[in-house]
């Protein structure tokens, strides 16, 4: 298994971001900091954090707009002793890559709970219209402000739930690859990852009502999901055919949230794996997560194209795709009501 760095501090609380100055000092972070944020998230939290840090740190700012390799290059040109990512997935991923390439620590301060990249050692960037996944280091610390996150749009919260639920089929693909190719597999990591899905089920009412208990549990699950990838030394515990399907949708210019796309992919994959896809569909329904082309706002044709195109995504990774023909993928999408 991997020796990848793990976060030294994880704080999931209300108003914890007000202590950002002391948190930095406790983690031996000093000198010049670049606060990496987005146009909207700067107003939500980024500017507040900058103002708190001005007293004892040299503060610079960088705005991420699309999460691209070009933005990575621009951020690399700004001298800093450490970075703080304040925002969503694009902001955190750009920060991760720069921190990894230049061996500087960074803090992850998510403003949404829409993805499991909050604390993972993976990043996804856009270049020439395509998404690329790469290895990085996990943040030195994660500071998740429950008050900020619970007031984000519910579709972002449901996307985070979708990202966790999709781990069901990612684990099945990992197990399948272990049996068919001899790929290294960990029952311990798989069990930990599966327990996060149980947590989403258990706290589904609290998550849907956006109370502190439910949002705290969702954030915890997303953080641990990301950490499971660090333990495994790859994205295997959280990424199988359903993620290949999502990346194919991105290539076809889908604008849906990642968590919604992988949830739909997991619904199709669960049918192909012959596991209880109806229970997954019911959970998606309860949490108001899109489960078909209409709810995603897409066409049947795009879904079909994405299923076929999935074979070209991570062709080195053995999944249920390796055992099914294209027409079986389409039938699975029809049987589960996706199309």
> Please, what is the average pLDDT of the chain?
94
Beta-bridge partners for 110: 87
Express each pLDDT in 281-316 by its tens digit: 999 999 999 999 999 999 999 999 999 999 999 888
Percent of the chain past pLDDT 70, that is, above it, reads 97
Query: What is residue 4's predicted lDDT score, i.e. its pLDDT?
Result: 65
pTM above 0.85, yes or no: yes
pLDDT in tens, 201-241: 999 999 999 999 999 999 999 999 999 999 998 899 999 99
Q: Pick the closest to residue 63 from 106, 98, 34 (CA basis).
A: 34
Q: What is the pLDDT of residue 125?
A: 83
- Sorted by sequence, the CB contacts under 8 Å of residue 74 that are 6+ apart come out as 62
Q: What is the DSSP string of 196-225?
A: HHHHHHHTHHHHHHT-HHHHHHHHHHHHHH
Confidence of residue 128 (pLDDT cuts 50, 70, 90): low
156-335 fold: Dehydroquinate synthase-like, alpha domain (1.20.1090)
Q: Per CATH, which fold does 9-150 belong to?
A: Rossmann fold (3.40.50)
Q: How does pLDDT run across 168-208, given as a tens digit for each residue?
A: 999 999 999 999 999 999 999 999 999 999 999 999 999 99
Phi and psi, residue 110, nearest 5°: -70, 145
Q: Determine the pLDDT at residue 134.
A: 84
Domain boundaries, given as residue ranges, for the chain? 9-150, 156-335
């Amino acid at each position: 298994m991997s020796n990848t760095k793990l976060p030294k501090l994880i704080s999931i609380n209300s108003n914890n971001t007000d202590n950002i100055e002391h948190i930095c000092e406790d983690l031996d972070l000093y000198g010049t900091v670049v606060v990496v944020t987005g146009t909207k998230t700067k107003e939500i939290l980024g500017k507040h954090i900058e103002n708190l840090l001005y007293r004892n740190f040299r503060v610079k700012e960088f705005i991420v707009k699309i999460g691209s390799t070009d933005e990575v290059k621009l951020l690399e040109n700004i001298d800093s002793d450490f970075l703080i990512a304040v925002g969503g997935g694009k902001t955190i991923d750009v920060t991760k890559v720069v921190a990894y390439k230049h061996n500087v620590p960074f803090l992850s301060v998510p403003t949404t709970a829409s993805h499991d990249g909050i604390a993972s050692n993976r990043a996804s960037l856009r270049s020439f219209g395509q998404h690329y996944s790469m290895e990085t280091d996990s943040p030195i610390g994660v500071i998740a402000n429950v008050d900020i996150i619970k007031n984000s749009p519910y579709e972002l919260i449901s996307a985070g739930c979708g990202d966790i639920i999709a781990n069901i089929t990612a684990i099945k693909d990992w197990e399948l690859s272990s049996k068919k190719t001899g790929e290294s597999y960990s029952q311990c990591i798989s069990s930990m990852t599966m327990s996060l899905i149980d947590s989403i089920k258990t706290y589904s009412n609290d998550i849907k009502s956006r109370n502190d208990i439910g949002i705290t549990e969702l954030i915890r699950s997303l953080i641990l999901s990301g950490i499971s990838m660090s333990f495994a030394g790859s994205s295997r515990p959280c990424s199988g055919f359903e993620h290949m399907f999502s990346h194919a949708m991105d290539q076809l210019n889908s604008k849906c949230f990642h968590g919604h796309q992988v949830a739909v992919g997991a619904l199709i994959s669960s049918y192909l794996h012959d596991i209880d896809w109806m229970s997954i569909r019911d959970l998606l329904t309860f949490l108001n997560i899109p489960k078909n082309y209409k709810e995603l706002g897409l066409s049947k044709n795009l879904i079909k194209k994405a299923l076929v195109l999935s074979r070209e995504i991570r062709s080195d990774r053995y999944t249920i795709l390796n055992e099914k023909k294209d027409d079986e993928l389409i039938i699975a999408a029809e049987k589960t009501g996706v199309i």
